[in-house]
Each structure stands twice: as structure tokens, then as C-alpha cells.
Structure 1
Amino acid sequence: MMLNAQITTTLMKDGSRHFLSLPESCSSNTLRTHLESIPGIRVRDMTQGGFQWWMSFQCLGWRFSINNPFGEFWFFVEDASCPEEILRCLTRRLSASLRS
């Protein structure tokens, strides 16, 4: 697993920001368990269809989503103006959680 995951700035047409990609290292249910173990995160919804799924969660009042295309977890923040410090903290926590 990546030790130093890099935050990216890919703005989507809907105004969201793709800020992180990590290897798909576990099932969606295991990822949900990892997310729910991080203080301050609340999983809101999960939709599955075929081989891909979407999961949405909330952290510090900001809304996020995850998709699993191409063997990766892609993380999005709904509002691209989310502070970088929140994204850095979330990236550190997600990377550490998915490594363990």
C-alpha cells in the first residue's frame, strides 16, 4: 500500500473534486468497516451495480464519495472548496486504515 498517498486536484463537471486514488485492497464492506472506525466519519449510503459501487460518507460536515473503477478506490469531495488540511488529514487516516 502507498505510504505517501498524493492528493490530486481533478475537478469534475458536477463541481466535485477527485482528490485521492488508492489501490482497491479490500471489499466494499471491509472499506465501510474501516471508514466507520475513523472518528468523525459517518457512512451515509452505498449503491452497488455489477462490478462497481459508490459509497458516500460525511466527515466534519463535508460530503465525500468513493467509487471503485479499474481496481482502485477513487475518493471525491462533493465541494471542491473543502480545505486542504481536511483532505490531508483524511488521506493520512484512509491510507493508514487501509494498510492495517
Structure 2
Amino acid sequence: MANLPLLNETMTDGSRLFLQLPQTCPPSSLLRKIVCFGGMPTDFVSDWVTGETWIDFCYKGWKFSIHNPYGKYWFFAENSECPEAILQSMIQVV
């Protein structure tokens, strides 16, 4: 899946929605993949009623969040100036 076109949607909080992928694994498995990839989790919030989860983590000095509404993983970079190469590397996580 390397070099997928990245989204460039700026959210109201200034973060950038840069990737949407189908949810192919449970959030707990994605969290393990993030750790194996070199990310440092900072928060994991799961709603057992709706099934939605937020995963916050740092990677190479940048902060990211992943949310899973509608059966997709939405990837956000807290700083919209995060380098494209680092954003592309997130594709390897899932």
C-alpha cells in the first residue's frame, strides 16, 4: 500500500486528517502494531457501547491520533506541517 495519496483535510483544531483506511483489525491489535512500528502510545480510549476508539501516540517527535468511526481508521497528525514521508510511513502500520 505504499505511496497512497494522502488527504489534506484541516480539522477545526488545526490537525490534519491525512489517511482513511478500512478497519481490518481490532483497535487493540492496531495499538500493538503501532508499538512494534516504533510509536509511543500516549492514550487509548475505547467506548464499549459504540465500539469507537481513539488512539493517541507519538512517532519521531510528532503527535498522531487514530479514530475508528464508520468501520474505517481515520489518521490525524496533530501538526499539519508533519513531513509527508512520515505520514506515508503510517500506511505500514495497518
Could you state the TM-score of these two structures normalised by the residue count of structure 1?
0.84
Cα drift, residue 44 of structure 1:
1.1
CA distance in structure 2 between the partners assigned to 1:69 and 1:90 by the alignment: 18
CA distance in structure 2 between the partners assigned to 1:52 and 1:82 by the alignment: 25
Tell me the residue number matched to 2:80.
Answer: 80
Cα drift, residue 89 of structure 1:
2.3
Alpha-carbon deviations, 1:43-74, whole Å to 9, x = none? 11101123211010100110000000110000
Tell me the residue number matched to 1:53.
Answer: 53
**4+ aligned runs moved over 6 Å, structure 1:** none
Tell me the residue number matched to 2:69.
Answer: 69
Tell me the residue number matched to 1:14.
Answer: 13
The answer to whether 1:42 aligns with 2:27 is: no
CA distance in structure 2 between the partners assigned to 1:60 and 1:38 by the alignment: 11
CA distance in structure 1 between the partners assigned to 2:85 and 2:33 by the alignment: 21
Give identity over the alignment, percent: 34
Unaligned runs of at least 5 residues, structure 2:
none
Cα drift, residue 6 of structure 1:
2.5
Q: Superposition RMSD on alpha carbons, in Å? A: 1.2
Unaligned runs of at least 5 residues, structure 1:
none
CA distance in structure 2 between the partners assigned to 1:60 and 1:83 by the alignment: 11
Could you state the TM-score of these two structures normalised by the residue count of structure 2?
0.89
